[in-house]
């Protein structure tokens, strides 16, 4: 059996954290894949910070509407009973605590649940965007990312070295190697990918992991 694509594996596992009827914001990039892998019987209401509730799937090629795009500028559809509104209302929804879960990518996450996901010093950027509101406004923060950088360095670290998006807001980290819960006392390893080992996960993680061998599941 061919090895599952890393991004697909992460999206499938994150989707299991979502519940029927949840209002969910999926960040740009890998998080948008999560909607494709919802468990049977689970229907979520997708929120987009540029002013939508009830975003539907990507339109078929040739039927795109230039006025229907997500926060990343990609064409989308809108579901029956979906609605559109201005940015003021969109961020009132976020800041008012009406988003159940947000799924975001990250450059670094550390032992305290601090998140850095908006800039690398020296690189040109457009700004932090809505992430700063989502990480403090949503009830649950899930990070979806690969476990290590292309150079082999860890993305889960003892202390973030990059500029922070938010402090102590991350609840769960899902990578291609592991599922890690962020608790008040640190990082707790709860699952590892079925084709990896505990030793590999520990070696690839820059922060301290708490775990009990008998209680680690697989995904």
What lies within 8 Å, CB to CB, of 67 at 6+ separation is none
Bridge partners of 25, per DSSP, are 47, 102
Write out the E strands in the chain: 23-26, 45-48, 52-56, 77-84, 101-104, 108-110, 115-116, 140-144, 156-157, 172-174, 178-183, 186-192, 209-210, 217-218
CB 13 within 8 Å of CB 197:
no
Which one of 49, 108, 111, 191 is the catalytic residue? 49
The whole-angstrom separation of Cα 171 and Cα 79 is: 29
- Residue 182 corresponds to which tokens in the numbers above? 């962020």
Q: Which two tokens stand for residue 21?
A: 């009827």
Dist. CA 182–CA 184, nearest whole Å: 7
Alpha helix segments (H runs only) across 37-195? 87-95, 131-137
Catalytic annotation present for 49: yes
Residue 44 CA, distance from chain mean position: 15
Count of beta carbons in the 10 Å neighbourhood of residue 207 = 18
As a whole number of angstroms, the distance between CA 127 and CA 6 comes to 28
Q: Which residues are catalytic?
A: 49
């Amino acid at each position: 059996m061919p090895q599952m694509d890393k991004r697909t594996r992460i999206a499938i596992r994150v989707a299991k954290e979502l519940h029927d009827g949840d209002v969910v914001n999926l960040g740009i990039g890998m998080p948008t894949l999560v909607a494709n892998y919802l468990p049977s019987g689970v229907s979520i209401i997708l929120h987009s910070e540029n002013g939508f509730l009830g975003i539907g799937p990507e339109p078929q090629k040739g039927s795109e509407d230039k006025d229907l795009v997500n926060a990343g500028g990609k064409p989308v559809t809108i579901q029956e009973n979906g609605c559109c509104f201005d940015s003021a209302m969109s961020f009132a929804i976020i800041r008012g605590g009406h988003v159940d879960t947000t799924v975001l990518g990250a450059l670094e996450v550390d032992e305290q649940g601090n998140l850095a996901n908006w800039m690398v010093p020296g690189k040109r950027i457009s700004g932090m965007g809505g992430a700063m509101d989502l990480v403090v406004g949503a009830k649950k923060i899930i990070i979806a990312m690969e476990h290590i950088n292309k150079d082999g360095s860890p993305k889960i670290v003892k202390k973030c070295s990059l500029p922070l998006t938010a402090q102590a807001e991350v609840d769960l980290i899902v990578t291609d190697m592991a599922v890690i819960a962020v608790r008040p006392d640190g990082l707790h390893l709860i699952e590892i990918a079925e084709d990896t080992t505990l030793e590999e996960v520990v070696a690839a993680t820059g922060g301290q992991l708490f775990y009990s061998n008998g209680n680690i599941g697989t995904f």
